[in-house]
Structure 1
Amino acid sequence: MTRGEPVARIDRISVDALDDRQLEEVRENVRRERDAEAGRPLTVAVMGCAGVGKSSLLNALFGTRLAVGDVKPVPEKPQAVTVPGNSGHQLTFWDMPGIGESPATDPVYAAMYVEKLAEADVVIWAVHADSRSAAYDAERLRGLLAGVDDEARRHVMGKLTVVLTKADTLTPPPWIFDMRGREGTFVPSAQLAGRLEAKAAYFEQALLEPWDDLLTATTYNTGGFTLSDGRIGFDGHAVRYHGHFSQRVCDAYSAAHPEHAEVFNRLRDNHRVLPCSSLFRFNLAPLLVIVVNKLGPTAIFRFQRLLDDVAALGGVPVAAMRGFGNFMVWDGVRGVTAFDLGQYPLHPL
């Protein structure tokens, strides 16, 4: 542009200035964009270190047969599992390669992770429940976010759900199998439940609490929620909390506003670290509920069919349960079996 050349002005077009045909075109464009967003396939990326059980978790959730490696990590590239929702909606879970496999593959996998962190609607970060150190996972998460600005970090951390996998490896104290006929469910004993709770709190403190300024908790608003303060707010579709919605924060809000306790519990799910077991099918249903809740205000309706089936996720056939392990005592002095749990039959009703 040369000096003295008039600057073009772009004025906002008034709707009143449009004729009927133009106005209908505008409305049709708005409807098209709205429908495209409503029908957009949603994605969940399952990430974490090699060997924590990401593929096994998806197999347990959806009955798929993703390759699982007992000796070396698989997969070597992202694998997709797509499940249908209502009216043609789709939800795709991406099983990501495990990081920490080797110095040669980590840079390649890290690039995949950065891409999926940006595009996925929800990110499940899987950690082995029997791990005693959160330092490695915390370091990898910081490294992945090091090259992006605070707004991008805030976007990513708002998607994140931390899951403790392979909770069945935490014994003793014992797991309890609640047998009801030919099927049953695994639940932790009181002492084990306390241990799982302590583990979850430790990883929440290490992986989420340091990002307090960038965290956001969101849940759908069914109406009637009117609370607004410096950190919590609402609109006609959603309730949002800016910061780490810890158990302490949840308890404080619930005590002050018991009429909204259900909303606060859903907000708490955003930052709750959930112990799971693919083998025992433990906490699979709560995990799916948390994922759908984090997908946004409309997802609870788009994927109601998926949630209708979650009750069956925890059921384990008695015959399968008996194959999970055995305990045999060998009397080395006499050279005989002193006790064999497998010899004691169960008689489901």
Structure 2
Amino acid sequence: MERVSVGALGEHRLEKVRQGVRREHDAESGRPLSVAIMGQTGVGKSSLLNALFGTRLPVGDVKPGTCEPRAISVPGNSGHMLTFWDMPGMGESLSADAAYLAMYRERLADSDVVIWAFHADSRSTAADARCLRALLTGAGHDARALLLAKLTFVLTKADTLTPPPWIFDMRGPHGTFLPSPELAARLERKAAHFERAFLQPWGDLLGAATYTTGQFAIGDDRLGFDGHAVRYRGHFSAEVCDAYRAAHPEHAAVFSRLRDDHRVLPCSALFRYNLVRLMVSVVNKLGPAAVFRFQRLLGDVAELASVPVEAMREYGNFLVWDGVRGVKAFDLARFPL
């Protein structure tokens, strides 16, 4: 019988461990990633997915259009898949909410990123706050921190906020919608209100992370880094971001990405406003590997903000009727652009 040395046996075991690590790495790097979109009924979750991917998910103006989870899968580089889950909306009824809560909890655990949508033209936070608290109840400290790290909060239907006016930057037959300075300030105040309600109370469980090129070398009690990522422990608020950027302007882009982890992002499916920024935020939050795995997807959404001029004319056309003379006093559709 052939004798096996202790050294050879140790090397054999080490090789078995290496093979196991390689298998786990290959399985992890090849697995599909998923993003769930959650929120109350009527906030425009399906409309947001339709705008992002040109799909035709049913949208209900009166009754909820989504009664069960629906998936949209899009390919990234080298065949990697990213699946977006359109979830039923909370707030339809108490009985439905009880069933949806279990569904939300399961999807929150399974998803890599969760977009939580609020209606921009609302100040109410109580129902969503109760839902978030219920989803986190019973989980341990680390589990709650992991779940909170997945959340990205957005304000949908920002186009409903007017006046002040929106600006349409026309470039030939297409253009992009931008909020006027007064409206941008209003959107910032709205976003800050929701950030205080949904992020600030969980500050001790929060953390932010982003990729780095390896040149980052700043350490303090809350910042940590390695050759691939920078991490912050706590709520990376606007004030925290401003302080770091002032102290280390050479790393302003890193701090901006960390800020995006905790920023409430206003957007509009109708005006296609901030859709690119939303996609970039989601991919960044998926982790350093995802930035490269879905670089093609980010390239594909470069035109997401573009709106045809003819479509724009239908969105905000005021017709002024002179009731005394019985004629049109003003009709934007009659004026060439």
On whether the aligned pair clears a TM of 0.5, the verdict is: yes
Partner of 1:39: 30
Deviations 1:44-89 (A, max 9, x none): 1100000000000011011111111111112111000111011111
Q: Which deviates more, 15-24 or 60-69?
A: 15-24
Q: Which deviates more, 330-339 or 268-277?
A: 330-339
**Shift of the alpha carbon at 1:282?**
0.2
**Shift of the alpha carbon at 1:236?**
2.0
Q: Aligned partners of 1:315 and 1:166: how far apart in 2? A: 17
Partner of 1:194: 185
Partner of 1:49: 40
Q: Aligned partners of 2:97 and 2:58: how far apart in 1? A: 20
**Shift of the alpha carbon at 1:135?**
2.3
Q: 1:19 to 1:249 in 2, by over 3 A?
A: closer
Q: Which deviates more, 131-140 or 267-276?
A: 131-140
User: Is it true that 1:111 corresponds to 2:106 in the alignment?
Assistant: no
Report if aligned partners of 2:73, 2:82 keep a CA contact under 8 Å in 1. yes
- TM-score, with structure 2 as normaliser: 0.95
What are the ranges of 5 or more consecutive residues in structure 2 without an aligned counterpart?
1-5
Partner of 1:311: 302
Partner of 1:234: 225
Q: Aligned partners of 1:83 and 1:185: how far apart in 2? A: 25
Give the match's secondary structure for 1:176: strand
**Shift of the alpha carbon at 1:21?**
5.2
Select 2:134's aligned residue among 136, 143, 157.
143
User: Is it true that 1:79 corresponds to 2:70 in the alignment?
Assistant: yes
- TM-score, with structure 1 as normaliser: 0.92
| CA RMSD, 1 decimal | 1.4
- Look up the equivalent residue of 1:199 and give its one-letter code: K
Give the match's secondary structure for 2:95: coil
Q: 1:153 to 1:338 in 2, by over 3 A?
A: same
User: Is it true that 1:170 corresponds to 2:161 in the alignment?
Assistant: yes
Partner of 1:294: 285
**Shift of the alpha carbon at 1:320?**
1.3
Q: Aligned partners of 1:339 and 1:121: how far apart in 2? A: 51
Number of aligned positions between the proteins: 332
5 Å-filtered alignment, 1:11-30, equals 16=7, 18=9, 22-30=13-21
- Look up the equivalent residue of 1:169 and give its one-letter code: T
Select 1:206's aligned residue among 197, 210, 218.
197
**Shift of the alpha carbon at 1:23?**
4.4
Identical aligned pairs, as a percentage?
A: 70
Deviations 1:208-260 (A, max 9, x none): 11100001101012111111211110122211101100010001111111121
What are the ranges of 5 or more consecutive residues in structure 1 without an aligned counterpart?
1-14
Q: 1:236 to 1:342 in 2, by over 3 A?
A: same
Q: Aligned partners of 2:11 and 2:207: how far apart in 1? A: 43
5 Å-filtered alignment, 1:249-260, equals 249-260=240-251
**Shift of the alpha carbon at 1:341?**
1.6
Q: 1:237 to 1:345 in 2, by over 3 A?
A: same
Report if aligned partners of 1:74, 1:98 keep a CA contact under 8 Å in 2. no
**Shift of the alpha carbon at 1:205?**
0.8
Report if aligned partners of 2:101, 2:131 keep a CA contact under 8 Å in 1. no
Deviations 1:114-156 (A, max 9, x none): 0011111101000000002222222221122123222211111
Deviations 1:262-315 (A, max 9, x none): 111110000011000000000000000000010011110010001112221100
Greater per-residue helix proportion? 2
Deviations 1:22-45 (A, max 9, x none): 544432222111111111111111
Q: Aligned partners of 1:23 and 1:192: how far apart in 2? A: 61
Deviations 1:77-110 (A, max 9, x none): 1000111011111111111000001112111111
Partner of 1:69: 60
Q: 1:160 to 1:335 in 2, by over 3 A?
A: same
Report if aligned partners of 1:50, 1:101 keep a CA contact under 8 Å in 2. yes
